[in-house]
Amino acid sequence: MSNLTLEDIAKKSGVSRSTVSRVVNDHQNISDAVRTRVLQVIKETGYRPNAAARTLASQRSHMIGLVLPQTVSSLFTDPFYPQFLKGISLACNQHDYTLALFLVSSEEDEHKILTRITNTSLLDGVLVQVGHQGDQRIIGHLIDVGMPQVVIGRPVQSDNVSFVDIDNITAAYNAVTYMVRMGYNRIAAITGPLKSTAGIDRRDGYIKALVERGIKFDPKLIVEGDFTEQGGNLAMQSLLNHRPDAVFAASDAMAVGAIRAIQGIGLNVPEDIAVVGFDDIPISTLSDVQLTTVRQPVNRLGSNAVELLIDLIEHGTQPPRHIILNSQLVVRSTCGLQSTGSVGH
Q: Is the pLDDT of residue 344 over 60?
A: no
For residues 179 and 194, membership in a common domain is answered with yes
CA separation for the pair 325, 318 (Å, rounded): 21
User: Which structural domain, as residue segments, surrounds residue 159?
Assistant: 63-166+298-325
For residues 157 and 304, membership in a common domain is answered with yes
Note the pTM of the prediction, 2 decimals. 0.77
Let me know if residue 209 belongs to a domain. yes
> Of the spans 19-28, 192-201, 204-213, 283-292, which averages the highest pLDDT?
204-213
pLDDT mean over 34-49: 82
For residues 174 and 128, membership in a common domain is answered with no
The separation between CA 45 and the C-alpha centre of its own chain, rounded to angstroms, equals: 39
pLDDT mean over 15-33: 74
Give φ, ψ of 340 to 5 degrees. Answer: -90, 135
CATH of the domain at 221: 3.40.50.2300
Let me know if residue 189 belongs to a domain. yes
Domain count, the chain: 3
pLDDT digits (tens, 9 = 90+) for 99-110: 999 888 777 777
pLDDT band at 339, cuts 50/70/90? very low
Radius of gyration for the alpha carbons in the chain, expressed in angstroms and rounded: 25
Q: Are 322 and 110 in contact (CB under 8 A)?
A: no
Q: Which amino acid is at 273?
A: I
Q: Which amino acid is at 128?
A: V
Closest to 222 in 3D by CA, of 197, 201, 244, 195: 244
Let me know if residue 224 belongs to a domain. yes
For residues 49 and 81, membership in a common domain is answered with no
For residues 159 and 173, membership in a common domain is answered with no
Let me know if residue 318 belongs to a domain. yes
Q: What is the largest CA-CA distance in the chain?
A: 81
CATH of the domain at 46: 1.10.260.40
pLDDT digits (tens, 9 = 90+) for 263-273: 999 999 999 99
pLDDT mean over 219-234: 94
Q: Are 213 and 175 in contact (CB under 8 A)?
A: no
For residues 80 and 133, membership in a common domain is answered with yes
CA separation for the pair 138, 86 (Å, rounded): 24
Let me know if residue 140 belongs to a domain. yes
Let me know if residue 201 belongs to a domain. yes
Q: What is the secondary structure of 46-104 as a DSSP string?
A: T----HHHHHHHHT---EEEEEES--HHHHHH-THHHHHHHHHHHHHHHTT-EEEEEE-
**C-alpha pair distances (Å), 19 with each of 4, 32, 46:** 16, 12, 18
pLDDT mean over 142-155: 89
CB-side neighbour CA atoms (13 Å) of 142: 28
Q: Is the pLDDT of residue 72 over 80?
A: no
CA separation for the pair 319, 299 (Å, rounded): 25
For residues 201 and 272, membership in a common domain is answered with yes
Q: Is the pLDDT of residue 244 over 90?
A: yes
CA separation for the pair 100, 86 (Å, rounded): 14
Give φ, ψ of 84 to 5 degrees. Answer: -60, -50
**C-alpha pair distances (Å), 298 with each of 98, 101, 162, 279:** 20, 18, 18, 8
pLDDT band at 76, cuts 50/70/90? confident
For residues 45 and 87, membership in a common domain is answered with no
pLDDT band at 41, cuts 50/70/90? confident
For residues 208 and 333, membership in a common domain is answered with yes
Of 54-63, 130-139, 207-216, 247-256, least confident by mean pLDDT is 54-63
CA separation for the pair 178, 345 (Å, rounded): 12
Q: Which amino acid is at 321?
A: R
Q: Is the pLDDT of residue 186 over 60?
A: yes
Q: Are 196 and 233 in contact (CB under 8 A)?
A: no
pLDDT mean over 77-92: 88
**C-alpha pair distances (Å), 257 with each of 74, 172, 254, 291:** 16, 19, 5, 12
For residues 28 and 98, membership in a common domain is answered with no
For residues 258 and 337, membership in a common domain is answered with yes
Let me know if residue 1 belongs to a domain. no
Q: Which helix (H) or strand (E) holds 234?
A: helix 229-239
Q: Which helix (H) or strand (E) holds 329?
A: strand 328-331
Question: Residue 94: left (phi > 0), alpha (psi -120 to 50), or beta?
Answer: alpha
- DSSP-assigned letter for residue 119: S
pLDDT digits (tens, 9 = 90+) for 277-309: 999 988 777 767 789 999 999 899 999 999 999
Q: What is the secondary structure of 266-311 as a DSSP string?
A: T--TTTT-EEEEEE--GGGGTSSSPPEEEE--HHHHHHHHHHHHHH
For residues 123 and 268, membership in a common domain is answered with no
More confident call, 256 vs 138:
256
